[in-house]
Amino acid sequence: MKSKASLTHVDRDGRPAMVDVSDKTVSAREAVAQCRVRFPASVAAQLRASGLKSKKGAVIDTAIIAGTMAVKRTHELIPFCHPLPIDGCRFLIDWDGDNALMIECAVKTTHRTGVEMEALTGATIAALTVYDMCKALSHAIVLGPAKLLGKRGGKRDFGKSDLGRAAGKGA
């Protein structure tokens, strides 16, 4: 008989609590998340014409740097995330149709807990950075959805077997 799913960040008394991972096995873990950034057609055309450069600089390069910084600081942003050694972090940012960018963030660690939150944080902060870099062109830029594409390691694997295009070698 399968047990009912329950929240993991709540103690016996219903209070918030960080999960104790001390008894878990250290293993290779990886996760890939994505976030979409949709532009008005005129803004997308302008960005394509400029080679994805704005008055603030190189949009993609800046987004990758910001996303990587966010991955490494996820535990400072989300209260119950453990600080993790990040073994690899890779981004793939490419056009998704005429008017949107798709951002994928792949993260790897060898630890007792996974990196799903790090991958999601990296993808969404990279998307927010694209918004910041381009907001002078329009405030009608739309972010999302953001979602986990897959994870490996730990109790159960989830999602794509190849963990997305961003995973690549040495993600």
Cα angle: 9, vertex 14, 15; to 5 degrees:
65
Candidate list 11, 98, 132, 162, residue with the active-site label: 132
Residues facing 148 on adjacent strands? 33
Residue type at 71 in one-letter notation:
V
Nearest CA to 107 out of 129, 84, 128, 127 is that of: 84
132: annotated active-site residue = yes
C-alpha span between 91 and 50 (Å, rounded) = 21
C-alpha span between 90 and 168 (Å, rounded) = 8
Do residues 117 and 78 lie in contact, with contact meaning Cβ atoms separated by under 8 Å?
yes
Query: Which residues carry out catalysis?
Result: 132
